[in-house]
Amino acid sequence: DTAVSQTPKYLVTQMGNDKSIKCEQNLGHDTMYWYKQDSKKFLKIMFSYNNKELIINETVPNRFSPKSPDKAHLNLHINSLELGDSAVYFCASSQAQRTYEQYFGPGTRLTVT
Amino acid sequence: GQNIDQPTEMTATEGAIVQINCTYQTSGFNGLFWYQQHAGEAPTFLSYNVLDGLEEKGRFSSFLSRSKGYSYLLLKELQMKDSASYLCAVRSYNYGQNFVFGPGTRLSVLP
pLDDT band at A96 (very low <50, low <70, confident <90, very high): confident
pLDDT band at A11 (very low <50, low <70, confident <90, very high): very high
Helices (DSSP H) in A35-75: which residue ranges?
A: none
- Test B101 with A33 for CB contact under 8 angstroms: no
pLDDT of B98 reads: 77
Nearest CA distance, A41 vs chain B (angstrom): 7
- Test A100 with B44 for CB contact under 8 angstroms: no
CB < 8 Å to B97, chain A: 48, 55, 99
CB < 8 Å to A40, chain B: 103
Give whole-number Cα distances, B109 to B7, B14, B89, in Å: 16, 6, 23
A85 CB neighbour count, 10 Å cutoff: 20
Edge to edge, the sheet with strand B18-25 lists B3-5, B18-25, B70-75, B60-65, B53-57
CB < 8 Å to A55, chain B: 96-98
pLDDT of A74 reads: 94
- In B, minimum Cα distance to A39 occurs at B103
B52-68 pLDDT per residue, tens: 999 999 999 999 999 99
Considering only B51-55, B70-74, B90-94, which range has the smallest mean pLDDT? Answer: B90-94
- In A, minimum Cα distance to B45 occurs at A101
Nearest CA distance, B77 vs chain A (angstrom): 24
Q: What is the percentage of chain B residues whose pLDDT exceeds 90?
A: 83
Which residue type does B105 have? T
Total residue count of chain A as it appears in this document: 113
Nearest CA distance, A47 vs chain B (angstrom): 9
- Test B33 with A100 for CB contact under 8 angstroms: yes
pLDDT of A41 reads: 80
Which residue type does A1 have? D
| pLDDT for residue B1 is more than 70 | no
CB < 8 Å to A104, chain B: 42-44
| pLDDT for residue A97 is more than 90 | no
pLDDT of B106 reads: 97
pLDDT of B96 reads: 67
A46-82 pLDDT per residue, tens: 988 887 688 777 788 999 999 988 889 999 999 999 9
Q: How much is the average pLDDT of A1-14?
A: 92
Render the burial of A90-106: b for 16+ CB within 10 Å, e for the rest: bbbbbeeeebbbbbbbb
Residue among B78, B73, B86, B80 at smallest CA distance from B37: B86
Helix (H, G, I), strand (E, B) or coil at B70: strand
